[in-house]
């Protein structure tokens, strides 16, 4: 009996000693730091709008990175954040792509969704062609993401007649609008902003193989960015900006490889020796330094003979057209411009004491290959999930190979939040990325 009591005394003493040594976990006090998040607005293009899977639709809008940031800001004084959402009856917006599994050859089967759209018609813009129009939205807006807009167009008075996504937000009918994007976005008071404009000034050139769109001149980009930030900060608002991603590193341009095309050709014709591409200096054999667009496979052109019975892409007399290829010279050109754009963004942001999310550096980490304890992987691990730029399986990019999944947008929101907290001493909590999906499998 005495021995049993001794054990009980020793156990009680041990419990008391653990209780005395217990470490309290300190939870940071919610703070907005030196920023005011009560009226937050977001400027940008399709990435800001929540565009995904080759379209703008309700679920994508609801998972835009600004809406995720605004949700996290609530605990540090953030106010209501309004988005120009499509309603349930038109929830598929512009239409988009869904993943229906893999084809027999291993390529993804992407099916267009065309029901429940918000398309209301078209407008023939003189000199510009047909513009798709969407059902009008009326009401307050905090998310000013407009798919397709370039920095080059933010002060163009006629842009509301040329872009159906912007026209949807304006009160006037197509052909009658004269409000610039910059004036529209800054018409009402705001206390904090994020800005991710400028991507499309390089993206169109890259995704068209350097032939379908021109890069915005560097000096013009600098002048417009300076005017943009000057207006956003004119009344003392603070904010965060993002750099332009390396557009040559997205799945749209690194999924279909020259090596894979050649391997496929050899299965049909073992004598095939090279893939031939058209460049500004003439046709030549492609190398791993040349990038093929994601959409090339879906054309069905590869290997098809022309009238002279020369197979497409397998002979210099019938090369893959330049619009499907960003060749190594064009890659060098677009990177030079993007590096210049980013130097401008960082310089102006630093001069105005703004937070900077370096999207160029961060998104490039999703392409980096690693070996850890004998295991190889690409990208990074966030909350135990591998995030990479791999098409379909990488978790970050949606089915168009350019825009992000909800999980990708949550990750970008967190990178913005980290930059904001570091700059302004705030304690905005990070979003739990497990709450957001990647590519939706059938």
pTM for this structure? 0.93
**pLDDT tens figures, 145-203:** 999 999 999 999 999 999 999 999 999 999 999 999 999 999 999 999 999 999 999 99
Mean pLDDT, the chain, whole residue set: 93
Candidate from 23-27, 212-216, 412-416 with smallest mean pLDDT: 23-27
As given in the structure block, the two tokens for residue 425 are: 């001493």
Domains of the chain: 40-247+329-365+401-435 (3.40.50.1110), 258-326 (no CATH)
For Cα atoms 9, 12, 15, give the angle at the middle one, nearest 5 degrees: 150
**Rounded distance, CA 384 to CA 8, Å?**
42
Closest of 369, 363, 329, 411 to residue 249, by C-alpha: 363
Q: Are 61 and 51 in contact (CB under 8 A)?
A: no
pLDDT at 89 (0 to 100)? 97
Q: Which residue has the tokens 């899977």?
A: 53
Average pLDDT over residues 414-427: 98
**pLDDT tens figures, 195-253:** 999 999 999 999 999 998 999 999 999 999 999 999 999 999 999 999 999 999 999 99
pLDDT at 26 (0 to 100)? 59
**pLDDT tens figures, 421-433:** 999 999 999 999 9
pLDDT at 27 (0 to 100)? 58
For Cα atoms 221, 225, 229, give the angle at the middle one, nearest 5 degrees: 180
Closest of 131, 55, 122, 150 to residue 93, by C-alpha: 55
Q: How confident is the model at residue 9 (pLDDT cuts 50, 70, 90)?
A: very low
**pLDDT tens figures, 291-336:** 999 999 899 999 999 999 999 999 999 999 999 999 999 999 999 9
**pLDDT tens figures, 49-108:** 999 999 999 999 999 999 999 999 999 999 999 999 999 999 999 999 999 999 988 889
**pLDDT tens figures, 247-293:** 999 999 999 999 999 999 999 889 999 999 999 999 999 999 999 99
pLDDT at 245 (0 to 100)? 97
Q: How confident is the model at residue 19 (pLDDT cuts 50, 70, 90)?
A: very low
As given in the structure block, the two tokens for residue 309 are: 């019975």
Q: Are 257 and 245 in contact (CB under 8 A)?
A: no
């Amino acid at each position: 009996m005495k021995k049993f009591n001794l054990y009980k005394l020793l156990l009680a003493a041990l419990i008391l000693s653990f209780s005395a040594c217990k470490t309290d976990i300190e939870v940071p006090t919610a703070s907005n730091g030196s920023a005011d998040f009560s009226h937050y607005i977001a400027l940008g293009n399709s990435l800001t709008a929540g565009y995904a899977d080759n379209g703008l639709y309700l679920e994508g809008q609801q998972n835009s990175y600004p809406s995720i940031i605004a949700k996290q800001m609530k605990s540090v004084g953030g106010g209501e954040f309004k988005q120009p959402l499509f309603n349930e009856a038109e929830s598929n917006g512009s239409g988009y792509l869904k993943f229906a599994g893999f084809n027999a050859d291993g390529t993804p089967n992407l099916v267009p969704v065309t029901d429940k759209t918000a398309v209301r018609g078209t407008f023939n813009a003189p000199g510009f062609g047909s513009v798709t129009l969407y059902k009008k939205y009326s009401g307050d807006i905090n998310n000013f993401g407009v798919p397709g807009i370039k920095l080059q167009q933010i002060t163009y008075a006629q842009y509301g007649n040329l872009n159906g996504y912007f026209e949807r937000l304006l009160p006037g009918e197509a052909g009658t609008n004269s409000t610039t994007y910059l004036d529209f976005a800054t018409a009402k008071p705001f206390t904090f902003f994020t800005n991710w404009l400028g991507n499309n000034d390089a993206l169109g050139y890259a995704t068209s193989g350097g032939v379908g769109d021109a890069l915005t001149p560097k000096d013009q980009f600098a002048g417009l960015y300076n005017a943009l930030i000057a207006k956003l900060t004119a009344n003392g608002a603070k904010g965060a900006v993002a750099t332009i991603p390396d557009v040559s590193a997205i799945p749209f341009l690194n999924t279909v490889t020259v090596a894979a095309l050649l391997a496929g050709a050899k299965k049909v014709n073992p004598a095939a020796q090279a893939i031939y591409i058209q460049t500004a200096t003439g046709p030549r054999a492609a190398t791993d330094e040349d990038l093929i667009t994601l959409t090339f496979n879906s054309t069905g052109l590869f290997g098809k003979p022309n009238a002279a019975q020369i197979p497409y892409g397998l002979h210099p007399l019938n090369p893959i057209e330049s619009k499907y290829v960003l060749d190594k010279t064009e890659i060098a050109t677009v990177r030079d411009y993007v590096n210049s754009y980013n130097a401008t963004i960082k310089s102006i942001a630093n001069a105005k004491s703004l937070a900077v999310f370096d999207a160029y550096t961060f998104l490039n980490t999703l392409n980096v290959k690693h070996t850890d304890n004998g295991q190889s992987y690409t990208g990074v691990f966030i909350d135990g999930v591998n995030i990479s730029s791999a098409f379909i399986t990488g978790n970050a990019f949606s089915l168009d190979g350019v825009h992000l999944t909800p999980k990708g947008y949550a990750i970008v929101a967190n990178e913005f939040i980290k930059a904001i907290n570091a700059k302004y001493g705030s304690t905005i909590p990070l979003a739990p990325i497990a709450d957001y999906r990647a590519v939706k499998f059938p």
